[in-house]
Amino acid sequence: MPRRTVSVPHPNGDPTPSNLGEKDPLNSNGDPPEEKVELRKKVTLLRGISIIIGTIIGAGIFISPKGILKNSGSVGMSLVVWIACGILSLFGALSYAELGTCIKKSGGHYTYILEAFGPQVAFVRSWVDMIAIRPAGLAVIALAFGRYILEPTFMPCGVPEIAIKLATTIGITMVMYLNSMSVSWTARIQIFLTFSKLLAMAIIIVPGLYQLFKGETKNFENAFEVNSIDLTGLPLAFYSGMYAYAGWFYLNFVTEEVENPERTAPLAICISMVIVMICYTMTNVAYYTVMSAEELLASSAVAVTFAEKLMGNFSFAVPVFVALSCFGSMNGCLFAISRMFFVASREGQLPEVLSMIHIRRHTPLPAVIVLYPITLLILFLGDIYSLLNFMSFLRWLFIGVAVVGLIYLRYTRPDMPRPFKVPIFIPAVFSFTCFFMVFLSLYSDPINTGIGFAISLTGIPAYFIFIHFERKPKWFQKLSDSVNRSLQIILEVVPAEH
């Protein structure tokens, strides 16, 4: 879909073309030259690490790691699953590091599927992301934020549902506003929130290990008792573990904004995954030091139960840390996902306005706010958790397809520059894991999985209606152009300079 060249208004009111790459210190009017309207390379190594860690570590590790314990059957086996899921996630992250260094475009899954398998499959991915997966995922994280930010205020009573939804709406609005206003401030706050998460985990790990070194090891006795290990539940335990580690791919959504991506992306991914693996494993060890397996399974919020048993009055701070953790996940997720919509629009597969940049703030404003109305609609009207069940298998299906795309490109485009290259068994093992989880979803929950699959199939007619048929009715084209121009004026955005 061709893009029209748009002029950027000059500060003095003179319409001058947006030829912003001039070297001259002054333009023809004697004014300083305008800045180039583009997404800038502001993601350093530290910011890259904060995006990955800050998005992976959400509420899960603080609230409910009991899914892995329940399905693995023993304390020792649950720790093995946590480590194994971390290694498998590292395999996926390394595969994406190769994809990100040989395909230097933002957009993550969408871009890699587009490069390997063409526009039809890539469009279905972006379509499902926009109408269901991303708004539902954002709403779930935001609901956890709303619940835990209010919990200290309402203790020991429960938090009213309407208060949770109002706090959730405020949280979503804050994240949208922050991402719309400044890339630098979004990244700085993400670094702060990432350190807050690591501090929260340290508050759990250090006292837990202190108790362990004091000799509190009774909960680790018979940790690998054969009778308690549930082999049939292990796949479900791995499913929960992989979900807890999900988020390692988000740096690939902002590749074009990463400084020196050939070096920064692989380094940030490897450092982040090692830190998360260590933190997750040590946090679970701390939990088991203080709580028995039965107590952990009975708890609805493991970190809060842990704090109440060990810290007394200080336990009120834990919900605040959980809320900050959720806010960091929302912030990192939105920062990354908006770039996928930006790239899909640039490729002509989403409305043109989504690939435009704010003329002063250099943020992809339309791509950031496009999820806002859908997220609020789902928050107040939809069954979010059912929607996530519908879509969880689609996430792993498309990630598996993207990693298979790496193997496919190795053979179809062997001459493609690959500054970072992984052994072929790494993407092979990871893609097999993804497809196994997809098969597990089909087997364990065929109804919800079938509904999710049906929702994804709506992307096929949408592709032919909006993309494939180039000859649109004149009234449709006029309406589209009019809406696009109006939004461009209201939002003060122009196409990005290349």
pLDDT digits (tens, 9 = 90+) for 274-314: 999 999 999 999 998 888 888 888 877 788 788 888 877 67
- Residue 8 placed within a domain: no
- Residue 189 placed within a domain: yes
Crossing angle for the helix pair 371-381 and 161-181, to the nearest 10 degrees: 170
- Residue 13 placed within a domain: no
pLDDT digits (tens, 9 = 90+) for 208-221: 888 888 877 777 77
d(CA 202, CA 430): 30
d(CA 268, CA 165): 35
- Residue 14 placed within a domain: no
How does DSSP classify residue 497? Answer: P
- Residue 25 placed within a domain: no
> Which domain range does residue 412 map to?
38-495
pLDDT of amino acid 173? 94
CA angle centred on 399, ends 393 and 405, rounded to 5°: 135
Average pLDDT, the chain: 81
Give the mean pLDDT of 46-52: 88
pLDDT of amino acid 278? 92
Give the mean pLDDT of 229-244: 76
- Residue 27 placed within a domain: no
Is a pLDDT exceeding 50 seen at residue 23? no
**Cβ(311)–Cβ(305) under 8 Å?**
no
Is a pLDDT exceeding 70 seen at residue 239? yes
d(CA 335, CA 353): 18
Is a pLDDT exceeding 90 seen at residue 362? no
Helix (H, G, I), strand (E, B) or coil at 15: strand
Q: Give the pLDDT band (50/70/90) at residue 392.
A: confident
Is a pLDDT exceeding 90 seen at residue 140? no
CATH label of the domain that carries residue 484: 1.20.1740.10
Is a pLDDT exceeding 90 seen at residue 321? no
Is a pLDDT exceeding 70 seen at residue 386? no
pLDDT digits (tens, 9 = 90+) for 82-95: 999 999 999 999 99
- Residue 10 placed within a domain: no
CA angle centred on 109, ends 105 and 114, rounded to 5°: 70
Tokens coding 108: 């993550």
pLDDT digits (tens, 9 = 90+) for 147-168: 888 888 877 677 788 888 899 9
- Residue 125 placed within a domain: yes
pLDDT of amino acid 27? 47
**Domain count for the chain:** 1
